[in-house]
Each structure stands twice: as structure tokens, then as C-alpha cells.
Structure 1
Amino acid sequence: MALLSVKDLHVSYGAIKAVRGISFDIDEGEIVTLIGANGAGKSTTLNTVAGLIKPDSGSVDFEGETLLGLRAHRIVERGLALCPEGRRVFTQMTVAENLEMGGYTRTDAENRETLEKVYDHFPRLKERRGQVAGTLSGGEQQMLAMGRALMSKPRLLMLDEPSMGLAPILVQEIFAIVKQLNEAGTTILLVEQNANMALSVADRAYVLEIGTIKKTGTGAELLVDDDVRKAYLGG
């Protein structure tokens, strides 16, 4: 049984059909990526799985049980966490306070243990734990957003455009951390405009175009696929 199973998902914004009947599965321990142009439906899919958008129809099951109809914080309690596009840290709060917000569904004792693991993954956050989040660099804010999501100790971490707006050297660092998190046992669903980096770390990938899945395969297969290279890899 797949850890996450999305079947025939349809999502609209008024008259605009953003997602048009997509289906995909994620097995425990995988990195799965959704790639595609702006407006393809990638972020809408993640936000629907996270309970932030109500779909028109379809199913979203986690460990064989539906997520549809659950409030977002209940979905977090079930073991899914979303690191949103644009980071959305609490800019007037410290790094430590932001991380504490990520663990609001868990006990203080659980959070103390998880916090140390987050600091192990992101030592820069530990160095800056008393610093106001709005004064961090873009890369540090992305690390903070990821760390905040990890505070709920998710089995499935959804990352929406983690490399957006970052310098190339920081993109490399963020994706190295994504690999480390996966190797430590976290299953990852990744939405990413940097298709080359996303496919390089992904076990499997889905190519979305105008709300539909046009192609699927392993990350390695799609890296050398002619259509994918022409459309998303600049070659």
C-alpha cells in the first residue's frame, strides 16, 4: 500500500480548472517530484493534500485512510507537513519561536527531542536561534521554513519550491539537506521549478501540464528524456 495515494483529483478556482484528474502514489522512503511550468497545478496539488484547498472531486488517502474533510492541523497530526512556497516565516518572531510554532500539535517533551534533531540538520539555525527571522538571509529563511515543518515530525514532508530565489550555491546546499532528510527516513514530495535539481534527487517524477500528468518515470529517466530536456532543462 502506498503511503500517499491521490486518485482522479480535480481542483478549481471558480471557473478555472487548476487540476484535471491527476493520480499518483508515493511509497514510504521515496522522493517524488512534480515538475512543470507555472500554472501547471503543482502547488495546488500540494495545498489540496495539506487540507488548505477543497477539491471538486477525487480522493487523497494517507496510509489507506482519507484526508479529505480533515482540517489542516489534523492532517499535520496524521503525519504530513507542508513547507510552503515563499517560506512564509513569522518575520517578527525569533528562529526558536518559529520552530516552536511548527511543533504546536505535539508535547513539549516531544518538541525538545525533535528540536535537537532539527538543529543537527540545520546548525545555522541553532547559531541564530535568538535572531529575529525577518533578518535572516533567504537561504536561512528557507532552512527555517523546512525546520519548522520538521518540528511536527512528519512521515511525509511536502516542499513547495525550496530553491526559489536562492543563489546557486545555496540551492546546492538545500538539495543536499533534502537528500539527508530522506536518508534519515522522511518521505518527500517535492515541487520545484529547478527541474534539473529536482530530477537529480528524485526516485520518481511526474510532469504536469495544465493540470494533467503528461509524463512519468524515474528521475534518471526523465533527466535524459528529450521532451523533458527541451521543455524544462534547456537542452
Structure 2
Amino acid sequence: MLKVDDINVYYGSIHAIKGISFEVNQGEIVTLIGANGAGKSTTLNTISGLLHSKTGSISFMGEPLSKVPCHKVVSKGLALVPEGRRVFLQMTVQENLEMGAYTRSGKGVDEDLEKVYARFPRLKERFKQVAGTLSGGEQQMLAMGRALMSQPKLLMLDEPSMGLAPILVEQIFEIIQNLHKAGTTILLVEQNAQAALSVADRGYVLETGKIVTSGTGKELLASPAIKKAYLGG
């Protein structure tokens, strides 16, 4: 579904992503794990078209993305839930969700709104509330709901557990698993390696802009080197 081939990304003279290649197949949860600054968010931003690679290619559903402007990437079926949530703080919950459907014509939007409310009952309770007054966990749910409103074929999540209390982290990962069961393909970037590998079909480990190892979620969870570096074992 998604194929990333030999991308190199620079911030000025800083070589942030160094020739990485990976793929995501339909129906999978694939996770990118690594320490802060390893290049995980940069990779997602490059796939989304917010950053550009000097080399290589990115294709989605067999179609190259390199010349597609970032606002058009969403209408191709790729949605990013950005790091730090980035909800529209001055808008209500419902307005935020409606913004998620801006690439669609009116058909089916109300139906999908009800589906999002069914998946996130907390948002339904607060649909008239201004997003800036929600808790961190509620804002994360809103950011995910907003992305789902674009009817993504692939949902990219950037650090969904960041800054959340452990009980909320559990809830968010439960939601990720439920979305996956409902047929959404997911690319997950996460510093909480334990949680990410527990739900992932496959994982890639990034260190300073390079993929250093990959395997199934189970294999990586069981690997002594991964345990030592990322799981506090």
C-alpha cells in the first residue's frame, strides 16, 4: 500500500533521514520506533508532503507521491494525526471534525460524524465544547476522529501517547486496535516502544535517521538488544 524507497531528507545542512526504505501492506499496523530525534516524525512529514526527499521515491497505492502537494495527499486517502495533536483550539469539537472532511463533498459526512461519535463517546458529550478546553486525552481522540473524517485508507499516527497519563495511553492503544480490526491500515510512530510493538504486525527501528533493524512486533519485543535499548530491560 505504501512504499518508501531510499529517501534522504535534510534540514538545511543536517542530514535527518539517511536512505531509509520500508513498506506498509494493506491491513497492517506498522510501527516506527526509536529515540527522540531518530527521524520518526520527519519520515511521516515527508510521506505527507510537508517535507521533501532529495532522493528516492514514495508511492501510495502504486502512485508516486513526490509531485503531489501536501493538501492533495489527504484526498488520496492518507491522513496524518500530527505530533502534539494540533487541533483547532478556538473551534468546537464538531467544527474540528467537520474540518477533517474538507476534502470531501457533502455525501456521507453526517453519517461518518455519527460513526466517529460512536467510536469516541466522550467527543459526542462535548460536541459543542471549544477544543482548547479539552484534556490532552480528549484532544488526542479529537485529532484521531478528525483524521478519520477524511475516510483514510492509511492512518498515520505521530506519537499518539505523548504527554498522556498511563490509563489514557491504554485507552488510545485500545482505540488503535479497534480501528485496525475495523479495517484501517495504520502507520504508527511512537516513543512508547512497548505499547507500539504490542499492537504492531511489524516494526522498524530508527537510529539517527537510519533503519537499523526490523521484524514482527513479537520478534522485536523479544529481542534482547531492543529490550535493552527501548524497553528498559
2:58 and 2:107 map into 1 onto residues whose CA distance is 31
Aligned to 2:8: 10
Q: What code does the residue aligned with 2:173 have?
A: F
Structure 1 window deviating more from structure 2 (110-119 vs 124-133): it is: 110-119
Question: 1:54, CA displacement in angstroms?
Answer: 1.2
Question: 1:58, CA displacement in angstroms?
Answer: 1.1
Question: 1:110, CA displacement in angstroms?
Answer: 2.3
Aligned to 2:165: 167
User: Structure 2-normalised TM-score?
Assistant: 0.99
Aligned to 1:152: 150
1:27 correspondence with 2:22: no
User: Structure 1-normalised TM-score?
Assistant: 0.98
Q: What code does the residue aligned with 2:209 have?
A: G
Report Cα offsets for 1:195-232 as digits up to 9, x if no partner: 00000000000000010000000001100101100100
1:19-168 to 2 correspondences below 5 Å = 19-168=17-166
Question: 1:24, CA displacement in angstroms?
Answer: 0.3
1:206 and 1:183 map into 2 onto residues whose CA distance is 22
Q: Which consecutive segments of 4 or more residues in structure 1 shift more than 4 A?
A: none
1:10 and 1:118 map into 2 onto residues whose CA distance is 36
Aligned to 2:174: 176
2:99 and 2:177 map into 1 onto residues whose CA distance is 24
Report Cα offsets for 1:24-50 as digits up to 9, x if no partner: 010000000000011111000000001
Question: 1:113, CA displacement in angstroms?
Answer: 1.6
Aligned to 2:231: 233
- What is the aligned-residue RMSD (CA, Å)? 0.6
Q: What code does the residue aligned with 2:34 have?
A: G
Name structure 1 gaps, 5 residues minimum.
Answer: none
SS in 2 for 1:57: coil
Name structure 2 gaps, 5 residues minimum.
Answer: none
Question: 1:159, CA displacement in angstroms?
Answer: 0.1
Q: What code does the residue aligned with 2:137 have?
A: G
1:192 and 1:118 map into 2 onto residues whose CA distance is 23
Question: 1:109, CA displacement in angstroms?
Answer: 2.4
1:197-212 to 2 correspondences below 5 Å = 197-212=195-210
SS in 1 for 2:84: coil
2:204 and 2:90 map into 1 onto residues whose CA distance is 37
Structure 1 window deviating more from structure 2 (134-143 vs 111-120): it is: 111-120
SS in 2 for 1:99: helix
Identity of aligned residues (%): 68
Q: What code does the residue aligned with 1:181 have?
A: L
Question: 1:192, CA displacement in angstroms?
Answer: 0.3
